[in-house]
Amino acid sequence: MAELSYREAVAYGIAQEMRRDRSLVMIGEDIAAAGGVFKTTVGLLDEFGPERVHDTPISEQAILGAAMGAAMTGVPVIAEIMFSDFFAVCWDIVANQIAKSRYMTDGQVSFPLVIRTANGGGVRFGAQHSQSVENWAMMIPGLKVVAPSTPEDVVGLLAASIRDPDPVVFFEHKALMGAKGAVPDGEIVDRLGTAKIVRAGTDVTIAALALMVPRALDAADRLERDGISAEVIDVRSLVPLDTRTLLDSVAKTGRFFTVEENPRLCGWGAELVSIVAEEAFWDLDGPSIRITTPHIPLPAAASLEDLALPSADRIHETVSKSVEPRSGA
């Protein structure tokens, strides 16, 4: 059992897979000699050499095109897009080429590749280096979408993503990089499409992702003190989506909340709420409520960014307000 930071877990997970599969290679800007701007790839160049851990020019289309072309001709690739906001300059390759080509060719080609990217806010980088864009990826047929919240999940879900035959967009959260957690010894391989109940509860279900998971857990502690028992589910994988775990939880609690860092419109929680509305309506004892970043670009100032992102305070307050009238009745 090792205590690793989230950023160390990234390199740890990649190394585990590169040792296992000698054909696996990795490319990105500043990932090799510099060890990545978030230091998530430290040590990989030393262990695996420049043929397998390869610095690229600042050319996101060329990076993802190379990953796609290599993957479709038998070489699995991990490609890094430094900040997830930068997907906007190479989204053609992601959304039109990688995601659609298997379907367009009726299954002639496969894309065993992982696109890792630093996602989300909380680090005062301003609007163009902070957005949570997991919902961009979620709405593209053909992609799988993963966003871990703990070091152990980073390793296990990264391994699962690398071993998956489909293209996976893997969101690493910038504000979690320093978070520490226990990582068991030996090979760790998780499963995509599995949500995790990270805190059991009976009164409300709170679904959260990445940075929002520790905040939801913090809020759940406070709710407990208020006499509200919250079940917190780390969604972990948006595609495939583990609706079973969510629906089972809602059947038990009767209340459903999402905590989303993405700006409100078309956030991933909207899909979850719609599934709950369609399939668990008769289990509900009150409205489903989405707690999200407002429909704004993220501001840079610490005070403003803190107001924008869902905080433990806001989660606590929102849940407790919406549950209180019932408990008081």
Partner 1 sequence: MRTDPRYDYNLREPRLPAPVDHSLVDAPIDIEVRLGMYQTLEELRRFGKRVHDLFLQNLVKGTTHLSLGMEAIATGFGAALRPGDYTFASYRGHAHSLARGMDPGAAMAELLGRQNGILGGKGGSMHLTDASKGMMGSYAIIGSHLCIANGAAWSAQMRGTDQVAVAFFGDGTTNIGAFHEALNMAKVWNLPTVFVCENNLYMEYTPIDVVTAVEHPAAGRAAAYGLEEILIDGNDPDAVYLAAVDALGRARSGSGPTLIEAVTYRSGGHSRADPGKYRPQAEVDAWVDRDPLPLYHARLLSLGVSEERLDAIREEVARAIDAATEFAKAGDEPGEASLLTEVYADGGSRWRN
Smallest distance, Å, CB 300 to partner 1? 27
Nearest to partner 1 of 110, 229 (CB atom): 110
Shortest Cβ distance from residue 262 to partner 1 (Å)?
Answer: 18
**Residue in 54, 129, 173, 316 annotated catalytic:** 129
Residue 274 or 327: the one with the smaller Cβ distance to partner 1 is 274
**Please, are residues 204 and 178 in contact by the beta-carbon 8 Å criterion?**
no
Q: Report the nearest approach of partner 1 to the CB of residue 162 (Å).
A: 14
CB of 245 to partner 1, least distance (A): 9
Which region, judged by CB under 8 A, interacts with partner 1, from 8-16, 89-97, 216-224, 261-269?
89-97
Residue 303 found at the interface with partner 1 (CB under 8 A): no
Give Cα separations from 299 to 174, 286, 313 (angstroms). Answer: 16, 33, 19
**Site map (CB under 8 A) of partner 1, residues 100-129, x = contact:** -xxxxxxxxxx-------------------
> Using CA atoms, how far apart are residues 232 and 197, in angstroms rounded to an integer?
6
Q: Decide: 81 and 117 in contact? Cβ < 8 Å.
A: yes
Quick one: which of 92, 221, 285, 313 contacts partner 1 (CB under 8 A)? 92
β partners of residue 6: none
Stretch that binds partner 1, among 56-64, 124-132, 292-300, 311-319 (CB under 8 A): 56-64
- For the question of residue 316 being annotated catalytic, the response is no
- Tokens standing for residue 142: 């053909």
**Least distance in angstroms from the C-beta of 5 to partner 1:** 31
Q: Which of residues 153-192 bind partner 1 (CB under 8 A)?
A: 164-166
Q: Which residues contact 304 (CB under 8 A, 6 or more apart)?
A: none
Q: Is 309 in the site for partner 1 (CB under 8 A)?
A: no
**By the 8 A CB rule, do 137 and 145 touch?**
yes
The per-residue b/e assignment along 176-198, b for 16 or more CB within 10 angstroms, e otherwise, is: bbebebebeeeebbbebbbbbeb
Which of 93, 211, 235, 315 is in the footprint of partner 1 by CB under 8 A? 93
250 Cβ contact list (under 8 Å, min separation 6): 205, 256, 276, 280, 283, 284
DSSP tag of 94: I
Q: Binding-site residue total for partner 1 (CB under 8 A)?
A: 49
Give the integer Cα–Cα distance in Å for 327 and 151: 37
- Crossing angle of the two packed helices 268-279 and 243-253, in degrees rounded to 10: 60
> Strand, helix or coil at 10?
helix
Question: Which of these ranges, 208-216, 234-242, 261-269, 299-307, lies near partner 1 under the rule CB under 8 A?
Answer: 234-242
Please give the distance of CA 184 from its chain centroid, rounded to a whole number.
21
Binding residues for partner 1, rule: CB under 8 A, are: 23, 25, 51, 56-57, 59, 61-62, 64-75, 77, 92-93, 96-97, 101-110, 141-142, 144, 164-166, 193, 239-244, 275
Instruction: Give catalytic residues, as residue numbers.
Output: 129
